Amino acid sequence: MAKYNPVTPELLEELKKVVGEANVKTDAETLDRFKTDEETDPRLMHLPEVVVWVNSTEEVAAVMKLANQFVVPVTPRSAGTSVSDGAIPVLGGIVLNMEKMNKIIEINEDAMYAVAEAGARTIDIQMAAKAKGLLYAGDPCSAESCLIGGNIATNAGGNKAVRYGTTRHQVYSVEVVTPTGEITTLGSRLKKCSTGYCLEQLVMGSEGTLGIICKATLKLLPLPPHKVDIAAVYDDLDKAVTLVPNLVKAGLEPTSVEFMDSNFLKSSCEYSEIKLPHCDEGVCYLIVSMETFNEDEVDAKMEKLAEICEESGAIDVLEADERVWTVRKNCLESTRSLSKIAQSDDLVVPVDQIANCIKRLTEEAKKYDFTMFCLAHAGDGNLHFQHMKGDMSDEAWEQQQHAFHETAYSYVYSLGGRISGEHGIGAKKVYAMEKYTDPVELAMMKAIKKALDPLDILNPGKVMNVY
Amino acid sequence: MAKYNPVTPELLEELKKVVGEANVKTDAETLDRFKTDEETDPRLMHLPEVVVWVNSTEEVAAVMKLANQFVVPVTPRSAGTSVSDGAIPVLGGIVLNMEKMNKIIEINEDAMYAVAEAGARTIDIQMAAKAKGLLYAGDPCSAESCLIGGNIATNAGGNKAVRYGTTRHQVYSVEVVTPTGEITTLGSRLKKCSTGYCLEQLVMGSEGTLGIICKATLKLLPLPPHKVDIAAVYDDLDKAVTLVPNLVKAGLEPTSVEFMDSNFLKSSCEYSEIKLPHCDEGVCYLIVSMETFNEDEVDAKMEKLAEICEESGAIDVLEADERVWTVRKNCLESTRSLSKIAQSDDLVVPVDQIANCIKRLTEEAKKYDFTMFCLAHAGDGNLHFQHMKGDMSDEAWEQQQHAFHETAYSYVYSLGGRISGEHGIGAKKVYAMEKYTDPVELAMMKAIKKALDPLDILNPGKVMNVY
């Protein structure tokens, strides 16, 4: 591990010169507030030595220059909605808070793009685009609280990735500060480019280890005015998952295909006090959304969709009204009463391997004492298993979680999958990242990190351990 | 510049042990054949010292290990269709010929992907997909002769990029040999991934400087069975280019939007002996293709398309039959009789800046003695200016080309554009790449290249000069 210096009064003075006294905080309450993100396990939290709020890209660059000069680690922080310990300053030092850089600078209707600072809320960008009849297609489930910079850093996924791709597909260019404190813009507002290395895609998804995203130019799309939502009910998982390729092949371009297993369906129906059809029959639900530009197409598409669902063996096809979506949204909440402590997986496999993966890992989970439910963004192969501790002892819970994940991760890699579809590695999965990543690939990642951040100043201890 | 050793008899012996005697050639005729690609200027050609044909990824890796050990540069070669001197061994050494690794390994209908070796012809992949009712959407204009490995290395564009993106968007994963001779697979057959750095996008488009692509897993899409083609005729460039955003906003998703200026239209009509409407009236043509899955939609879409063309000020809207496409295809050929020596640009600008760019640079070109015609993939902002030398002296031609490009490149960058949309930098545009790229971005590229290829063995002198 790289050797860092402690944050000294001299460094604090220099930081205050850059961002102003009010934006440099070392009081206990502030430090305590920034020791975690969505992490709830105190053993994984870590106090920063100072929290710095920045107001401009130039300030970010100046802070990074100081951090290199004083050899102090910097953890950039967006909204702190990471569930992978991505915003925890695991090695202390400076937490760099981006939340004040929150301006939406431009929504350009004609050329269909938006420019926003890293601290702009994702939902505000969505709404600003919508007000001009356009769509910003990045849509993480935490869109109401998360910030665009964090979305880009983690390559956030969400509900619309089947049709539109993940966050990295919504971005033309990013203004970044490099680990050594230089400012540059990577990428450009182009549909085609063969001019040098594609650094924007390298920095996006690097979880703030290769550069701090300060500003982004985002793609906007035409907003389809019409929507079709159905829920298909299956008593056979294999049949359910044939739906996705069949929809795609029919050219229906679903916007989302969400899977709820029978456990989630039952618990969330009870929690929501909504009795959806078949909810006690051990069935699973696939909720399919489609969008269209032409009102005339709505009925035809609905019909085609229902036809494909029936052909794939759905025992029932319903219109997915507000009640269905309420049950879907309450899934996680509904498990709180079942277990105070829970852990969520974020596995991703090729779409045609979802059924295999759900079946195999559901079977595997039966060997253990925890309870496991499954939700999936089925259209893109992204599985969230919810593990519930119930009344297990701490020791058994940890040991069994570890044992399950050893099996699950090996299996997922054997299918061509990966251990994070949309939440990132953060600090939480560094061990698994180093264990399961191909050694040549991992060595390339480390070589690049070292080349761009020789002192390992920027977000050390995330994604992998360089030293 | 890195210091290389000459290819020695000892190295030749070692190479023969790896790939077999018949696959190592040093005869004068062979060396002469591989001194160039599509480059016609003898001053830019360079002889290799040996040409090596490889049959497997393992052989590629072994050759790279030897090249590092003997400190000899390696230039990977695909079909040699580069127009940017991308396949010329500018520093001598080994030309690594990929053409024997030409197997299409798998076309998977159900999971919609193809696996092919780097030397598979792009058109063969397109045809193999089509035979199964699927689409491989990468479609460079040279698809009949180029190989998929070269397409990926250059991030080739082509005619369908408006709807489907460029080659880098068609690829799930690549099996590569690193500059130091290790084998790894970057990327995976996933729709979502937040597991470490996106190295596949870094290596793709690096023009064979960061890794040799040996095998790729490609995305296949549903093949839309119906097609709508129209040609819109404009007497005003500004009006013509408003068509693209209007099509996109209407949700029409054009597959291609091709622009022909009045010069090309006239010369190609004469050459093709086809008299298209208005071809002598100084107008330009925009040819728009759209695809659809539903036969019922064909008429409605055609109508909507014609309506948008008329609203944008087209003076005529025609069905784009075979004759229109023949004229489009013969454009470059038609200029051969006008000038034996010609040079083509490959500029790219934001789509909303095309009209400005065409007008500004057409005006600029009037200052010079060469003739300049313009073709564009208007849907994605990619402009190809054809410069014709005619009877200019060599000296004046070169001096004026240089002067024009100094102005053009600065201008294109000022619009947020770049100097290559789809042809790559190769050796030909290294000077411009180093001059116009942001210094911080360029330094990042060089740092990454040095980190992954410390001896600068793989394709040196391309994209940029590291030493």
Nearest to B293 among A190, A251, A423 (CB): A251
Task: Determine the distance in angstroms separating the CA of A464 from the nearest CA of chain B, rounded to an integer.
Answer: 8
Question: Which residues in chain B are closer than 8 Å to A416, comparing Cβ atoms?
Answer: 188-190
Q: Of A46, A53, A93, whose CA–CA distance to A70 is shortest? A: A93
Longest dimension (CA), chain B: 71
Question: Which residues in chain B are closer than 8 Å to A162, comparing Cβ atoms?
Answer: 191
Nearest residue on chain B to A449, alpha-carbon basis: B448
Interchain CB distance below 8 Å, A418 and B190: yes
Burial class, A205, CB count within 10 angstroms (exposed 0-12 / middle 13-18 / buried 19+): buried
β-sheet bridge partners, residue B174 = B186, B216
Q: What is the CA radius of gyration of chain B?
A: 23
Whether chain A has a CB inside 8 Å of the CB on B452: the answer is yes
Decide if pLDDT at A2 tops 70. no
pLDDT along chain B (467 residues), means of 10: 89 98 98 95 95 98 98 97 96 98 97 97 98 95 92 93 96 98 98 97 98 98 92 91 82 90 95 95 94 85 90 93 92 89 93 92 96 94 95 95 97 97 97 97 98 98 95
Q: Which domains does chain B have, with CATH numbers?
A: 9-100 (3.30.43.10), 104-222 (3.30.465.10), 226-332 (3.30.70.3450), 338-414 (3.30.70.2740)
Q: Each residue of A13-44: pLDDT tens digit?
A: 999 999 999 999 999 999 999 999 999 889 99
Those residues whose C-beta lies under 8 Å from the C-beta of residue A337, and which sit 6 or more positions away, are A271
Q: Each residue of A375-418: pLDDT tens digit?
A: 999 999 999 999 999 999 999 999 999 999 999 999 999 999 99
Beta strands in A79-223 (DSSP E): 94-97, 104-108, 113-117, 134-135, 171-177, 183-187, 212-219, 221-222
Decide if pLDDT at A253 tops 90. no
| Mean pLDDT along residues A284-289 | 95
**For residues A244 and A1, which has the higher predicted lDDT (pLDDT)?**
A244
CA distance A384 to A279: 20
Per-residue pLDDT at A340: 87
CA distance A441 to A237: 34
Q: Of A91, A158, A101, whose CA–CA distance to A126 is shortest? A: A158
Task: Give the HSE-up count for residue A312: Cα atoms under 13 Å, Cβ half-sphere.
Answer: 26
- Range of weakest confidence among A16-30, A90-104, A310-324: A310-324
Question: Which residues in chain B are closer than 8 Å to A438, comparing Cβ atoms?
Answer: 184-185
Question: Which residues in chain A are closer than 8 Å to B440, comparing Cβ atoms?
Answer: 178, 182-184
Q: Of A233, A206, A227, whose CA–CA distance to A424 is shortest? A: A206
CA distance A116 to A138: 14
pLDDT band at A158 (very low <50, low <70, confident <90, very high): confident
Per-residue pLDDT at A347: 97
Whether chain A has a CB inside 8 Å of the CB on B168: the answer is yes
The amino acid present at B108, given as its one-letter code, is: N
Interchain CB distance below 8 Å, B185 and A441: yes
Per-residue pLDDT at A67: 98
Whether chain B has a CB inside 8 Å of the CB on A93: the answer is no
**B 336-395 → A contacts, CB under 8 A:** 346, 348-352, 377, 379-382
CA distance B447 to A210: 13
Question: Which residues in chain B are closer than 8 Å to A82, comparing Cβ atoms?
Answer: none
The amino acid present at B266, given as its one-letter code, is: K
Tokens of A256: 């989302």
Q: Is the ipTM value over 0.85, yes or no?
A: yes
**B 216-235 → A contacts, CB under 8 A:** 222, 224
Tokens of A297: 């197409």
Per-residue pLDDT at B174: 98
CA distance A66 to A72: 8
Nearest residue on chain B to A210, alpha-carbon basis: B197
Nearest residue on chain B to A166, alpha-carbon basis: B192
Spell out the alpha helix ranges (H) of A231-353: 237-249, 262-272, 295-311, 322-329, 331-335
Tokens of A67: 């951090």
The amino acid present at A122, given as its one-letter code, is: T
Nearest residue on chain A to B293, alpha-carbon basis: A251
Question: Which residues in chain A are closer than 8 Å to B248, comparing Cβ atoms?
Answer: 112, 222
Interchain CB distance below 8 Å, A348 and B193: yes
Whether chain B has a CB inside 8 Å of the CB on A101: the answer is no
Optimal mutation site among A112, A113, A195, interface B, most CBs of chain B within 10 A:
A195
> Which value, to the nearest 10 degrees, does the dihedral of the CA atoms of residues B386, B389, B390, B393 take?
170
Interchain CB distance below 8 Å, B192 and A437: no
